[in-house]
Amino acid sequence: MSAVRLLVIDDHPMFRRGLVTLLAGNSRFEVVGESGSGREGVEMARRLHPDLVLLDWHMPRLSGMQVLDEIRQLELACRVVVFTASLDRSELLQALALGCNGYALKDMEPSRLQAYLLQCCEGTVVLKDQMVALLAQPQPTPPTSAAGLAAPLHQIELTTREAQTLALIARGLSNKLVARELGISDGTVKIYVKNLLRKLRLRSRLDLAAWFHQSS
């Protein structure tokens, strides 16, 4: 298997250099570039065509959210893993809505981070249990469905696949495209959508998308 061509975008020089040194020491990775700014990072992604971008979420001027949005607007084939020091529900939802392939915390053990990055390269959106639990947390003002029924958020327990499906539906993807993104069958996606509608007490895919964005 060829090495994963990796671009690191992080505005903290010492942390970035340590990260690059760590990953460059693993034969499974080839660090093709590093950047301390979002704007330069986007240009490097466009020019270098990396397989994976490890992206700091909190950066001055052009934030990680804006970088991820621009990378997706450019329709680059690279996968993007958000790298952040804080576990924030709204930021996680924003990253998922913009099409991230993973969400990692900066306090991860080095070996676990490397294994996680390789897992994110396999073609699915990868969320750890703590991320899924965060998505399922109750919110102060639950949104309502088209029928006027509020989903009881304190009772919602989404599986990883259901959370991934919900985020992709919120991006406007059809069942076929969701299936392709997650590497599963159309029929399996239909089951996840059915489960989401039941758990959230909603009636349609449009309601699911609205629920997702209102919760972020």
**CATH number of 23's domain:** 3.40.50.2300
Tell me, what amino acid is at 40? Answer: E
Distances (CA, A) of 186 to 39, 99, 173, 193, 196: 37, 20, 12, 11, 15
Task: Look at the chain and report how many structural domains it folds into.
Answer: 2
Residues 30 and 93 in one domain: yes
Last residue of a domain, one of 102, 126, 150: 126
* Ranges in the chain, pLDDT < 70: 123-124, 126, 128-130, 132, 134-156, 215-216
Q: Quick check: is 113 in a domain?
A: yes
Is the same domain home to 28 and 65? yes
Query: Which of 36, 32, 34 minimizes the C-alpha distance to 48?
Result: 32
What DSSP character marks residue 151? P
Tokens of 36: 């301390």
pLDDT of residue 17: 95
What is the C-alpha separation between 32 and 67, in angstroms, rounded?
18
Asked if residue 119 and residue 13 are part of one domain, the reply reads: yes
Q: Give the CATH number, domain containing residue 188.
A: 1.10.10.10
Q: Tell me, what's the pLDDT at 189?
A: 87
54 domain residue, yes or no? yes
The DSSP result for 181-197, as a single string, is: HHT--HHHHHHHHHHHH
Q: Domain range for residue 29?
A: 4-126
- Give the pLDDT of residue 82: 95
Residue 188 has a pLDDT of 84
Q: Looking at the structure, do residues 121 and 49 belong to the same domain, yes or no?
A: yes
Q: Are residues 116 and 166 in the same domain?
A: no
Which of residues 126, 145, 164 is at a domain's end? 126
Asked if the structure places residue 78 within a domain, the reply is yes
Q: Answer yes or no: do 98 and 16 share one domain.
A: yes
Q: What is the pTM of this model?
A: 0.64
Could you tell me if residue 164 is inside a domain? yes
Same domain for 114 and 203? no
DSSP-assigned beta bridge partners for residue 30: 5
Residues 151 and 117 in one domain: no
Question: How many CA atoms, within 13 angstroms, populate the side-chain half-sphere of residue 195?
Answer: 17
- All residues at 6 or more sequence positions from 21 whose CB lies less than 8 Å from its CB, including other chains: none
- Residue 31: predicted pLDDT: 97
pLDDT at res. 149: 46
Residue 131 lies in a domain: no
Domain stops at, among 126, 147, 163: 126
